[in-house]
Amino acid sequence: MSGIRINKPDSNPISSDACGANTLKPPQEISIFNKLPDATTEQADTPPPKKSSNHDDRRYIDRLPNRNNEKEPPIVSYCKNFLGIYFTGEDAADKAKEYLKSLSDNTKPRTTQSISSEGLERKINTITVTSNVEETAPGTIEELKRIGEEVGFTVQTADTYDIWLEDPYIRRHDGKVLVSDLTKNNKYAFRSQANAVSELRGNISTGVQGRVSEGSNYKEYIKLIPDEDRVVGKSYLEGGNVLNHRSSDESPAAIIGEESIGYTLAIMELEDTPENREIAQAQIAEDLGLPKENVTFIRQFDFHIDMWYRPLQNGVVAAPDFDSAIDMVAEILQDPELEDSKKEDLEKLNEGLQEMKILASQHANEAEDKLKQAGYKIIKAPSFAVTPNIPDVMHINYMNGVGGTADNGETYYITNTSGIPQLDDKIEQYLKDNANIDKTYFTPTNTLLKKMGGLDCITQEN
């Protein structure tokens, strides 16, 4: 997280669900949230930066605004918990601790699946999302709450100006929090790596990683994680480029975009040689607390793999399929009830998908081969996403979603609506028939896609 703001005294608390002590239940199992840091009450003469409605793209570095000169009206006091969320008032410290306790509400029954896995066999108790996501994707929080009532999770809200909650850290399978070592000034190294990445991808995509490394507020956030829960890695990983999963035998595993190897070489100050790449891969596995053989690196054609791949059941991964997407678009274009404006958008999208197929197929095929070699079963899923290098095309992405198992034992998947009901209906049926997903929900987060993010990018699940 970055750029956390103060709530003014006359504003609502971050969330009545988050701060209301009478709604909390005692935790019944140990998680990283049970070990509460001492909440420190600070004077408001050094307030954190205030919220900005301009949410930066995830795919570019050095986009964080300079807010050093911004001022806030003085308030009594504020408290910042280890998630980097601020609370105000004389009882600010108590509010911070209560919020952490609410995140560790583990009184609901879980499946055996670790919450650190992003697969369908996990039981989600809480989804955290920033309150100001409503500025970019109105209606998202209420829709998540409605879905949560059906499948068994609650929704917490945090007050930050950076809506991308997924990227700053990675929850390991042992429950600890992995963060990168951001004590160095990595701008030069990341600039060099970004240039190398762009050259390797050719003209598919120019998006790069590095926002976490350059954000001073991320560094402040990392300091707030208790020492016993924090693992400071020697590698460089962003949450969107790591998919925690489990193999078919339920062993903890991870799928990582191979560009993370290059960024790790940069942060470790190693030359890009075959030998050093082996060292970097071993370091990444060690930082994740996994055997090296349980980490699969796949070729990527965009800055984060979470926009293109999705863990399903243990040992099963959804991979992008442009052909089936093109076929679906062609079918919907024949629908006489399709609005003229949507028809024009879909015609442009069809052209974009044809181009995307040509540009990305080799990379996608190589990634699939790697996944198969690692023992994963591949489910081909229609991919309607295109990179920003293909301009003037509507943004649709069903891969960037959140899935789990409901209280009634049925699997569910929550993803970004396309804004075209006929297409959403086809995807829901496709996932039911091919991915064994019992119920698919759609949220109004398609407006985030032009910033190269979606529902999964703005949430943290517990």
| 315-354 pLDDT, tens digit each | 999 999 999 999 999 999 999 999 999 999 999 999 999 9
Under 8 Å between Cβ of 277 and 267? no
Across 219-344, where does the E strand assignment appear? 230-233, 242-246, 252-257, 295-298, 310-311, 316-321
Contact assessment for residue 13 and residue 95, using Cβ atoms and an 8 Å cutoff: yes
Whichever domain contains 423, its CATH number is: 3.75.10
Q: How many domains does the chain have?
A: 1
Per the domain annotation, does 72 fall within a domain?
no
Give a yes or no: residue 246 inside a domain: yes
pTM score: 0.78
426-437 burial, b for 16+ CB within 10 Å, e for fewer? bbbebbeeebeb
In a domain, 375, yes or no: yes
Return the structure tokens found at 120.
């369908």
For residues 257 and 193, what is the distance between their CA atoms, to the nearest angstrom? 14
If one compares 97 and 393, the residue with the highest pLDDT of the two is 393
Q: What is the CA radius of gyration of the chain?
A: 21
Q: What is the mean pLDDT of residues 264-285?
A: 94
Helix (H) or strand (E) holding 353: helix 340-373
Q: What is the pLDDT of residues 347-401, one digit of tens each?
A: 999 999 999 999 999 999 999 999 999 999 999 999 999 988 888 899 999 999 9
Q: Does residue 139 belong to any structural domain of this protein?
A: no
For 93, the 3-state DSSP assignment is helix
* Burial of 293 from C-beta contacts in 10 A (0-12 / 13-18 / 19+): exposed
What residue numbers bound the domain in which 315 lies? Answer: 170-461
- pLDDT above 90: percentage of residues in the chain: 53
Strand intervals (E) in 258-307: 295-298
The Cα 336–Cα 389 span in angstroms is 32
- More confident position, 247 or 160: 247
Q: Which residue has the higher pLDDT, 37 or 226?
A: 226
CB 295 within 8 A of CB 281: yes
pLDDT recorded at residue 57: 59
| Residue 32 maps to a domain | no
Cα separation, 3 vs 178, in Å, equals: 20
Confidence of residue 67 (pLDDT cuts 50, 70, 90): very low
* Spatial CB neighbours of 55, under 8 Å, sequence gap ≥ 6: 132, 135, 136, 161, 162, 163, 164, 451
Note the pLDDT of residue 441.
98
> Does residue 394 form part of some domain?
yes
Residue 114 is predicted with a pLDDT of: 47
Helix (H, G, I), strand (E, B) or coil at 215: coil
35-44, 93-102, 173-182, 277-286, range with greatest mean pLDDT = 277-286
The rounded distance, in Å, linking the Cα atoms of 459 and 441 is 15
Tell me the C-alpha distance between 169 and 433, whole Å. 34
Under 8 Å between Cβ of 415 and 398: yes
Q: Provide the pLDDT for residue 444.
A: 97
Strand 170-171 to 177-180 pairing: antiparallel
Query: What is the largest distance, in Å, between two alpha-carbon atoms of the chain?
Result: 63
pLDDT mean over 223-241? 87
Q: What is the mean pLDDT of residues 208-234?
A: 75
Q: Which residue do the tokens 């070489």 mark?
A: 265
Instruction: Look up residue 50 and give its amino acid.
Output: K
Residue range 221-236: mean pLDDT, rounded:
82
What's the confidence (pLDDT) of residue 103?
Answer: 43
Q: So what's the pLDDT on residue 10? A: 34
Report residue 112's pLDDT band, with 50, 70 and 90 as the boundaries.
very low
Query: Whose structure tokens read 């049926």?
Result: 429
Please tell me the least confidently modeled range out of 201-210, 393-402, 404-413: 201-210
- Is residue 156 within 8 Å of 102, Cβ to Cβ? yes
CA distances from 189 to 193, 195, 303 (A): 6, 10, 17
Residue at 67 is within a domain:
no
Query: Which range is least confidently modeled, 17-31, 167-181, 222-236, 447-461?
Result: 17-31
**Domain assignment present for 55:** no
Instruction: Determine the pLDDT at residue 223.
Output: 67
